[in-house]
Amino acid sequence: MDLTDRQQEILAVARSSGRVMVEDLALRFQVTPQTIRKDLNDLCDRQLLARTHGGAVVTSSVENVAYEARRLIADAEKRAIGRAAAALIPDKSSLFINIGTTTEEVAKSLGDRRDLLVITNNLHVAMQLYPNPDMRVIVAGGQVRHSDGAVIGASAIDLIQQFKVDLAIIGASAIDEDGALLDFDYQEVRVSQAIIANARRVVLVSDHLKVGRSAPVRIAHLKQVDVFVTDKMVSPRLAKVCREANVEVIEAGE
């Protein structure tokens, strides 16, 4: 079914500003909020937009949503995932935390942990944790990506390869239903691959909106993950992949 004229204009507004809000669109088009929500749901079903609280943001299979917009997507679900994943991290452990808005929620939930060693390529995670005197924080060196504070490149990989940690907390921009973990930036993916290779236990944190989304660069496969923390498992096919690979699934949805 083709997009309606209103849906096409909604998409144009979203691409121009990065996001749209239900109430603003209802006023713009002189229709009810319920009508706009249906339009947004249709656009999200086609993976042209991704829903946020009160609206939607643009999405793409070749370019990620802007960092500030990503923070708004499934924000309550990410907080729940962050708490559930943080509960898996004991005191006196070492861990990697990679780039991502969901991994940042894990860091925010580590405030009561003691004697942690955290190695990260995520400046937001470092800023969140370094004031805590009970944590040692090591930031990977290298190029800082302006869009989201990720440290990427060969220097970051070299530092990560100097460690063998207890846990890796990783995110992904997309999860294929065959179990492939995907992202948009090849340099970022190489850092994530080094993190996975140098951790004794790997914890994937991702909300259900990532499942079935498309991105062009392969990070890894779910069989390389020990625990998958999500808000809810929405794909029977992906659930089967997890069972066959002995991946523990924790559903943190409230």
8 Å CB contact between 226 and 202: yes
Give the least confident one: 32-36, 58-62, 169-173, 187-191: 58-62
Same domain, yes or no, for 240 and 154?
yes
**DSSP β-bridge partners for residue 227:** 203, 248
- Choose between 214 and 125: higher pLDDT: 125
- Choose between 223 and 47: higher pLDDT: 223
Domain tally, the chain: 2
Residue 155: the pLDDT is 95
* 227-230 vs 49-52, strand pairing mode: unpaired
Query: What is the C-alpha end-to-end distance of the chain, expressed in Å?
Result: 34
Confidence of residue 51 (pLDDT cuts 50, 70, 90): confident
Is residue 65 a part of any domain in this protein? no
CATH number at residue 183: 3.40.50.1360
Is residue 66 a part of any domain in this protein? no
Is residue 16 a part of any domain in this protein? yes
What distances in angstroms separate CA 52 from CA 22, 32, 70, 171, 194, one per listed residue? 10, 18, 9, 19, 32
What is the rounded CA–CA span in Å between residue 71 and residue 67?
6
Q: Which of 13, 33, 59 is the last residue of a domain?
A: 59
Residue 52: the pLDDT is 80
At 207-223, the pLDDT tens digits run 988 888 778 999 999 99
What distances in angstroms separate CA 10 from CA 4, 22, 25, 98, 119, one per listed residue? 10, 10, 8, 34, 41
Q: Which of 59, 83, 98 is the last residue of a domain?
A: 59
| One-letter amino acid of 218 | R
- Choose between 93 and 54: higher pLDDT: 93
At 148-202, the pLDDT tens digits run 889 999 999 999 999 999 999 999 999 999 999 999 999 999 999 999 999 999 9
Question: To 10 degrees, the CA torsion angle through 235, 57, 72, 120?
Answer: 80
Is residue 194 a part of any domain in this protein? yes
Same domain, yes or no, for 190 and 239?
yes
Same domain, yes or no, for 145 and 197?
yes
Same domain, yes or no, for 208 and 246?
yes
Is residue 161 a part of any domain in this protein? yes
Same domain, yes or no, for 14 and 48?
yes
| One-letter amino acid of 80 | A
What is the rounded CA–CA span in Å between residue 229 and residue 16?
33
Same domain, yes or no, for 108 and 152?
yes
For CA atoms 125, 130, 135, 138, give the dihedral sign. Answer: positive
Residue ranges making up the domain that contains 43? 5-59
Same domain, yes or no, for 51 and 140?
no
Confidence of residue 35 (pLDDT cuts 50, 70, 90): very high
Is residue 183 a part of any domain in this protein? yes
Confidence of residue 65 (pLDDT cuts 50, 70, 90): low
pTM reported for the whole predicted model: 0.81
What is the rounded CA–CA span in Å between residue 220 and residue 189?
9
What is the rounded CA–CA span in Å between residue 152 and residue 160?
11
Same domain, yes or no, for 150 and 52?
no
Q: Looking at residues 109-113, what average pLDDT do you find?
A: 93
Is residue 64 a part of any domain in this protein? no
What is the rounded CA–CA span in Å between residue 15 and residue 121?
29
Confidence of residue 13 (pLDDT cuts 50, 70, 90): confident
Same domain, yes or no, for 19 and 99?
no
Give the least confident one: 10-14, 25-29, 79-83: 10-14
Q: Looking at residues 227-239, what average pLDDT do you find?
A: 95
Same domain, yes or no, for 21 and 130?
no
**DSSP β-bridge partners for residue 202:** 168
Same domain, yes or no, for 98 and 223?
yes
Same domain, yes or no, for 49 and 86?
no
Is residue 120 a part of any domain in this protein? yes
